[in-house]
């Protein structure tokens, strides 16, 4: 894997903001530039003018991010009552919030309902019953299982969603239980590189919309297209514009303008990923034998300080060190974190290249680390404190 160029990711002024914010600060430190989230949000709204954006808070549940997106008019999807509490505390009205987790305790459904939330995801009869009991009359969307795990860098597997036949049964049951069978959702997998994954999923949804109308007289009103839109890591991805053009085309192929359902998007990674740079120091460089061709580079950040998505080397962050600008030779490295856990190796197989001149104490910058980092950071594994974050705009 060749070394990156910083100008592939930032213009000089944009990059300077990050380095300035980190100057003199202890590492590891995540620097988040809120202005980049603002730009991404406007971009998303511009490309999907008819969709409602429910920011997937799990990507970064920070108050600074919520306040920004709330001011920009975003809605929110929460995964727990704790995220719900956070977003309500930021002054967001419950009418702008969906409860997107299909796994929830009865008392948490009650809590959300008491706070005014009336839009719930489900994918099972037991959860549906819970919702009927504790959030009576609410709007239900059923999550279906879809393809896409082979082309997503962070697949969401089979944990969520159900077969469309079961989803139809749940929607029918929802009506019988006094709930509103409102729509269908899916998630094609996070960092989904194949736009056609939405095409396959929407074909299933269309079939279900028609079935429900023709066989049950139920007119579903909403499609939730989930997240999955990419951030800019190492491997090339299509711009959001291409995703939007394709998805909007799939939708207009399937529905007339007057029948177009409400469209919800739940982006997480694509909105906030590019806003973060994780600044770390090199703690140790070593080799495992006198003839070892590979250097082991240990940084003060690892899987337990926010880089958990490097598990299985799934998400490949762009890694930058200023010595790349002047380096005359580079070599393959293993990149590992600081803890005494052998899982704490970010990249062993990927073949990351770093300058031979790299030394202990040098800075390593992990780009595109604004999503799924700070919230994943452990509390005190090996005694290391949770990841420090600073916000700039
Ligand atoms: C229900 C739901 N919606 C949205 C998202 C956000 O997905 P992404 O970060 O790929 O945009 C997730 C991610 O796990 C999710 O579980």
Q: Which atom of ligand 1 is nearest to the CA of 271?
A: 11
Distance 101 CA to ligand 1 centre (A): 10
Average pLDDT over residues 223-243: 97
Condensed to tens digits (0 to 9), the pLDDT of residues 339-372 reads 999 999 999 999 999 999 999 999 999 999 999 9
Which phi and psi angles does 301 have, rounded to 5°? -125, 145
191 CA distance to ligand 1 centroid (A)?
10
Of 40, 52, 55, 59, the one to substitute when testing ligand 1's pocket (max ligand atoms within 8 A of C-beta) is 59
What integer pLDDT is reported at residue 149 of this predicted model?
87
**75, 123, 160, 187: which to mutate for ligand 1, most atoms within 8 A of CB?**
187
Ligand 1, residue 77: give the atom nearest the CA: 3
C-alpha to C-alpha distances, 369 to 79, 152, 222, 271, 295, nearest whole angstrom: 21, 18, 32, 12, 24
Ligand 1 — pocket residues by CB below 6 A? 56, 58-59, 77, 100, 156, 187, 190, 226-229, 266-270
Share of residues in the chain with pLDDT > 70 (%): 100
The protein residue with its alpha carbon nearest to ligand 1, atom 7, reads 227
Instruction: Give me the residue label for tokens 């997240």.
Output: 227
Q: What are the tens digits of pLDDT across the range 90-107?
A: 999 999 999 999 999 999
List residues with catalytic annotation. 340
Residues 298-326: pLDDT tens digits? 999 999 999 999 999 999 999 999 999 99
- pLDDT > 90 fraction of the chain, expressed in percent and rounded: 98
CB of 191 within 8 A of CB of 156? no
Distance 226 CA to ligand 1 centre (A): 6
CA of 42 to the centre of ligand 1 (A): 19
Q: Is the pLDDT of residue 1 over 80?
A: no
Give the Cα separation of 44 and 53 in Å (integer): 8
Is 183 buried (19+), middle (13-18) or exposed (0-12) by CB count in 10 A? Answer: buried
104 C-alpha to center of ligand 1: Å?
A: 17
- pLDDT tens-digit map of 271-297: 999 999 999 999 999 999 999 999 999
pLDDT given for residue 158 in this prediction = 84
CATH architecture of 6-30+273-392: Beta Barrel (2.40)
Length of the chain: 393
Closest ligand 1 atom to 267 CA = 11
Q: What secondary structure letter does DSSP report for 96?
A: G
Furthest-apart CA atoms within the chain: distance in Å: 74
Domain limits, the chain: 6-30+273-392, 35-271
User: pLDDT digit string (tens) for 134-173?
Assistant: 999 999 999 999 999 899 999 987 899 999 999 999 999 9
DSSP per-residue string spanning 33-92: EHHHHHHHHHHHHHHSTTEEEEEEGGG---HHHHHHHHHTT-EEEESSHHHHHHHHHTT-
Q: Does residue 248 have a pLDDT over 90? A: yes
Tell me yes or no: is domain 35-271 CATH 3.20.20.10.
yes
């Amino acid at each position: 894997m060749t070394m990156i160029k910083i100008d592939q990711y930032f213009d000089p002024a944009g990059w300077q903001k990050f380095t300035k914010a980190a100057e003199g600060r202890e590492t590891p430190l995540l620097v988040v530039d809120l202005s980049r989230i603002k730009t991404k949000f406007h971009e998303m709204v511009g490309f999907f003018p008819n969709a409602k954006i429910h920011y997937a808070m799990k990507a970064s549940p920070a108050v600074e991010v919520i306040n920004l997106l709330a001011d920009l008019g975003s809605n929110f999807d929460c995964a727990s009552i704790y995220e719900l509490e956070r977003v309500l505390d930021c002054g967001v009205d419950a009418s702008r919030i969906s409860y997107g987790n299909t796994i929830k305790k009865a008392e948490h459904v009650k809590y959300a309902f008491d706070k005014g939330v009336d839009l719930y995801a489900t994918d099972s009869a037991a959860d549906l019953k819970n919702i009927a009991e504790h959030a009576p009359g609410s709007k239900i969307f059923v999550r279906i299982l879809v393809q896409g795990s082979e082309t997503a860098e962070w697949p969401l597997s089979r944990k969520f969603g159900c077969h469309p036949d079961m989803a139809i049964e749940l929607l029918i049951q929802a009506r019988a239980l006094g709930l509103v069978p409102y729509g269908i959702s899916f998630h094609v997998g996070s960092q989904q590189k194949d736009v056609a994954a939405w095409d396959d999923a929407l074909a299933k949804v269309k079939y279900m919309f028609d079935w429900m109308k023709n066989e049950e007289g139920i007119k579903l009103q909403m499609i939730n297209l989930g997240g999955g839109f990419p951030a800019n890591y190492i491997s090339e991805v299509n711009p959001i514009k291409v995703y939007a053009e394709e998805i909007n085309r799939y939708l207009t192929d399937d529905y007339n303008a007057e029948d177009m359902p409400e469209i919800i998007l739940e982006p997480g990674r694509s909105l906030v990923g590019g806003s973060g740079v994780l600044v770390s120091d090199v703690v140790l460089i070593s080799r495992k034998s006198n003839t070892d061709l590979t250097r082991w580079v240990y940084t003060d950040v690892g899987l337990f300080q926010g880089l958990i998505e490097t598990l299985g080397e799934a998400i490949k962050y762009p890694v930058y060190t200023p010595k790349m600008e002047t380096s005359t030779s580079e070599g393959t490295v293993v990149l590992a974190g600081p803890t005494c856990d052998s899982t704490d190796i970010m990249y062993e197989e990927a073949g990351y290249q770093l300058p031979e001149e790299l030394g202990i104490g040098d800075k390593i910058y992990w780009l595109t680390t604004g999503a799924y980092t700070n919230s994943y950071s452990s509390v005190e594994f090996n005694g290391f404190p949770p990841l420090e974050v600073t916000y700039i705009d």
